[in-house]
A and B are shown apart, each in its own frame.
Chain A
Amino acid sequence: MGALSNPFDPDQTLWGGCSCGQHASQAEHDAAHRLTGAAPAPDERERLAEGRVAESAASDRAAQPADTDPDVAWTDREAVLARTVESAVLRGVFGGDASRRGFLRAVGSATALAAISQFIPLDKLKAAIVEAKGPLEKTELNIGFVPITCATPIIMASPLGFYERYGLDVEVIKTAGWAVSRDKSLAEEYDAAHMLTPMPLAITLGAGSVATPWTMPAVENINGQAITLAMKHLDRQDPSQWKGFVFGVPFEYSMHNFLLRYYVAEAGLDPDQDIQIRVVPPPEMVANLSAGNLDGYLSPDPFNQRAVYDGVGFIYKLTKEIWEGHPCCAFAASRKFIDETPNTFLALYKAILDATAYSQVHENRKEIAEAIAPRNYLNQPVTVVEQVLTGRFADGLGNVRNEPDRIDFDPFPYHSFAVWILTQMKRWGYVEGDLDYAAIAEQVYLATDAAAVMQEMGMSPPETTYKSHTIMGKTFDPAEPEAYLQSFAISRV
């Protein structure tokens, strides 16, 4: 519960004001240190004993202050007093609440403590996000989406009544592309929107737009993209033969772009020199493929399946074969929306989490496909959407493949996803200079809140917000982003 206030605190600076980058100011940083030195220390040791630290970068960093704890100056009366008060408060907060303690362990107590030390003078946001007892500030919301299957939870929550269930009257509005979606979100025409997971980071950093604090409370889908090649390239399925190819991606700040770049770079091609990557709106990809303007694309579904359906391309590789469980699209909202209408946000958040959980169940996928295929939503033949969602699909080469996890839905916004994305943004020159990876990740990706809300809803969120990922056999350790970045032969760094 404690860490909750951290990402929601509007006063929190982005660029970690203290030496470790976790706290808004040096004073808070010191306060956290004092705390770890006092009451929770036994808890911390217990956690270490359980060996959780090894598997969690968050805990690693959480443990750091304990290791480097500057001794509380016992001669400093104020510090002593503060510590005594704070440890009393901590006991009060955590006393007897097993689930909260579990959550605290998951996010690392240093993070949680730092946050608690700021919101103990009754932070309005804490009340809003976890308890949310107040009435909804507004019930009529506009949510933008781009018509692709990644947006399934956001879209299907409308026809299947998930928004209503939480007292919301939501209009889901189809948007021509991500640039427009971003601009309409920045213009506050949309209260929240379907975005790509790198976009909230880019918007917060001001890459490609005015820097505005943005948040990503939940991931929409994992996997669910594919590399599609034109039929004429049937016999050029080795990426080393792709020199001179023109590929389409839906947006610059997209997993599609980063995964495609990663994939060809692993095959020894420089994505900026050896191939051409063009931003093409997904609906235009199929037409461009059949017209020969594109040799292939890494795009969201249903447009991979649509190329197969129309006989113009074949599915060369599902992105789950590049990175099993990679994030793709996101449910994103501005920090302002969360701050100004916390109760509405929470209701919306729960509706999205609920819808995502429903989409996760394979038995529901057929029903969802039928609900979102009509003109009002995706505007696609039902069979195309169904093949994407159920994972039983024609691959364009004459085979019927069965990949139930072709697309999956998992709302948990791991901080490590954000760190990976930031490493790739830096790798390809989309951002420059030193990045405080963890601070940005934790500000934008609301993993700790996701864990709290999911727990409250009876779901089982993961215990850590950082984990290592394996992309094409190579391990990414979120605790060492710079070393990871330096490990690539082809990069702009």
Chain B
Amino acid sequence: MQPRMSVKAGMLSLVLLTLFLAAWHLLVLAQQGPAVEMDPEYAALMGKQATEGASALPKPAEVGAELWRHVTDPFYDAGPNDKGIGIQLAYSLFRVLTGFLLAACVAIPIGFLIGMSPIFRKALDPFIQIMKPVSPLAWMPLALYTIKDSNLSAIFVIFICSVWPMLINTAFGVASVRKEWLNVARTLEVGALRTAFRVVLPAAAPTILTGMRISIGIAWLVIVAAEMLVGGTGIGYFVWNEWNNLSITGVISGIVFIGLVGMLLDMALARASKLVAYAE
């Protein structure tokens, strides 16, 4: 039963994709206006949109060709402002992972502390509640001004947006470890550190991983916006550069790559959370 269902689901996905592409193609064709009569000398100076009434939106096939071009040559380097999609993605991933790991190093210990000690939780709660809803991009000007390095600023923004979900989830996971398990540990006279690592951490791990999964999703959302702002390198810059050329084809292919990488990141953490999952 199970395999047949996934086959069916896969086929349904394909049908939906085909329908979507067909609708897109038809939309572009419908937008095609009539060719405009023009002096050939004048027409030579104009774009296809003006002369042939072509739609600004590319056809799916054009986007496909563009995607293929990127996939077949992902690592070319034609100067500081023109690098292959693979290099751009690598820059973005590096920033996201650095910011994310830094955030994990800070959030998990502090989350532990908050989860274990009600006093700390009460004391830190107002700060967390105020900082949490701030859009990470609101930090950008402040970061640029104080850190004075656009690359570090981008990493800082990733850090600040990844830290809250991990912190809150860790605190929640630690606080809700079953009292019986802690009591058992205490009865057996297990030391505090050992209790933390052998009892609390494994018990809270699934919740912590959920926090990390939320964080990486947010971090990947934010990096694109941050790179569009500061420019230079990264997938956000790539999209901005294509937009600068008003190339919708390029922007769409950027979107596809962003989506694919985001999905891979999420899948990786989903796989990791399976490793620490347990049944009671």
Contact = CB atoms under 8 A, between A and B. Distances in A.
Contacts of A183: 141, 144-145, 150
7 contacts: A176-B228, A176-B230, A180-B231, A184-B150, A283-B244, A376-B82, A399-B42
A400 B44 CA distance: 10
A310 B49 contact: yes
Given A171-B80, A393-B45, A394-B42, A379 B232 contact: no
A187 B80 contact: no
A175 B45 contact: no
B280 interface: no
A493 interface: no
B46 A308 contact: yes
B159 interface: no
Interface string B215-256: 000000000000011111000000011111110000000000
Q: How large is the interface on A (under 10, 10 to 19, 20 to 34, 35 or more residues)?
A: 35 or more
A309 interface: yes
B128 interface: no
Q: Which residue, A283, A286, A311, A400, has most C-beta atoms of chain B within 10 A?
A: A311
Interface stretch (A192-200, A380-388, A405-413, A463-471): A380-388
Please name the 3 residue pairs, one residue from A and one from B, whose CB atoms are nearest each other, closest first: A311-B50, A187-B148, A376-B82
A383 B49 CA distance: 14
B56 A173 contact: no
A377 interface: yes
A187 B144 CA distance: 8
Contact of A375 (B38, B82, B229, B243): B82
Contact of A188 (B147, B148, B242): B148
B197 to A, nearest CB: 42
B241 A310 contact: no
Given A180-B231, A183-B145, A187-B149, A375 B46 contact: no
B189 interface: no
B46 A173 contact: no
Contacts of B230: 176, 180, 184
Interface in A305-337: 306, 308-311
A244 interface: no
Nearest to B241: A379
Contact of B81 (A284, A376, A393): A376
B9 to A, nearest CB: 38
Interface residues of B, number: 35
A393 B46 CA distance: 9
Contacts of B148: 186-189
Contact of B42 (A189, A381, A398): A398
A391 interface: no
A379 B245 contact: yes
A399 B46 CA distance: 11
Given A187-B144, A189-B150, A286 B45 contact: no
Interface string B30-70: 00000000110110111101100000100000000000000
A384 B141 CA distance: 34
A375 B241 contact: yes
Given A176-B229, A180-B231, 14 more contacts: A173-B81, A176-B240, A184-B230, A283-B244, A306-B246, A309-B45, A309-B46, A311-B47, A311-B50, A375-B241, A376-B79, A393-B45, A394-B42, A400-B41
A398 B47 contact: no
A229 interface: no
A147 interface: yes
A311 B49 contact: yes
A483 interface: no
Given A174-B81, A174-B231, A376-B82, A309 B241 contact: no
A400 B39 CA distance: 10
A398 B50 CA distance: 11
A394 B51 CA distance: 12
A287 interface: yes
A311 B46 contact: yes
A171 B82 CA distance: 12
A374 interface: yes
A210 to B, nearest CB: 8
A129 interface: no
A180 B81 contact: no
A393 B47 CA distance: 13
A239 B237 CA distance: 38
Contact of A309 (B50, B78, B147): B50
B246 A287 contact: yes
Nearest to B39: A398
A374 B42 contact: no
A314 to B, nearest CB: 11
Given A189-B150, A376-B82, A174 B245 contact: no
A277 interface: no
Contacts of A393: 45
A172 B80 CA distance: 7
A175 B42 contact: no
Contacts of B45: 309, 383, 387, 393-394, 400
A188 B228 CA distance: 20
B34 to A, nearest CB: 13
Q: Which residue, B78, B144, B243, B246, has most C-beta atoms of chain A within 10 A?
A: B246
A286 B246 contact: yes
B78 A376 contact: yes
A414 B240 CA distance: 35
Interface string B123-143: 000000000000000000100
Interface in B138-165: 141, 144-145, 147-150
Interface string A283-311: 11011001000000000000000101111
